[in-house]
Structure 1
Amino acid sequence: MANSSCEDLRGQEEDSFLYFAYGSNLLTERIHLRNPSAAFCCVARLQDFKLDFGNYRGKTSEIWHGGIATIFQSPGDEVWGVVWKMNKSNLSSLDKSFAWVQKRMACHQNIKRS
């Protein structure tokens, strides 16, 4: 894997944020389509959540007619993904990509590297 870019976060916190990705946003080429600043940080595990497919209303993607990867709280389960370090200028593109999400889910937790 590429070198972790989380090492150089000091002094850039005001311009950057960490984004936990799962599903199609695991793929570098996919995340860079709308978020060119994304830099791989680490592999991560989100405790007490479960991966599912379909949005909060159970709908499929209108573009490719398949299930949409989503996560929900589920005590005892875990979701594996990656953490990307991104510039805050990419927040609006993430919001557009996830317009179908019922509400923004932000977890302010420490990252535990695996």
Structure 2
Amino acid sequence: MEDSGCEDLRSREAESFLYFAYGSNLLTERIHLRNPSAAFFCVARLQDFKLDFGNFKGKTSETWHGGIATIFQSPGDEVWGVVWKMNKSNLSSLDKSFAWVQKRTVCHWSIKRC
């Protein structure tokens, strides 16, 4: 029986994850600086969250000395961004980039095509 390639596809899927990006990580050039495997997946809306600048510690960027884009839960609001598909090998670089974040937020979601 000929291999249909499904096993290889499942293996590649298990090695990747989807990452919702906002702020400066919307830019391809920016996300690729530390996450070269990032590939555009789709435009997305995160319901019941709000975009803000700064964080719970009041930290500003050491690069541009301004507020850092962040999101927080806010019923009725929404944040638009993009979803990048990335290799799991990039998880550590994301964690380093967001060391100031209190916790990683995992959202269960579905894709709706209009």
Q: TM-score range by the shorter chain?
A: 0.7 to 0.9
Q: For the pair shown, which has the larger CA radius of gyration, 1 or 2?
A: 2
1:111 shift after superposition: 3.1
Q: Which amino acid aligns with 1:21?
A: A
Equivalences for residues 53-64 of structure 1 within 5 A:
53-64=53-64
> How many matched pairs?
105
So what's the TM-score if we normalise by structure 1? Answer: 0.86
RMSD of aligned residue pairs (Cα, Å) = 1.3
* Structural mapping, 1:21-100, within 5 Å: 21-100=21-100
CA shift for structure 1 position 61: 1.3
Cα-to-partner distance string for 1:5-24 (whole Å, 9 max, x where unaligned):
xxxxx522210000000000
Letter in 1 for 2:60: T
Structure having the larger proportion of residues in helix: 2
Dislocated runs of 4+, deviation >4 Å: none
Structure 2 gaps, min length 5: 1-8
SS across alignment from 1:71 = strand
Cα deviation, 1:65-113, whole Å, max 9, x if unaligned, reads 1000000000000000000000000000000000010111111222335
In structure 2, give the amino acid aligned to 1:39: A
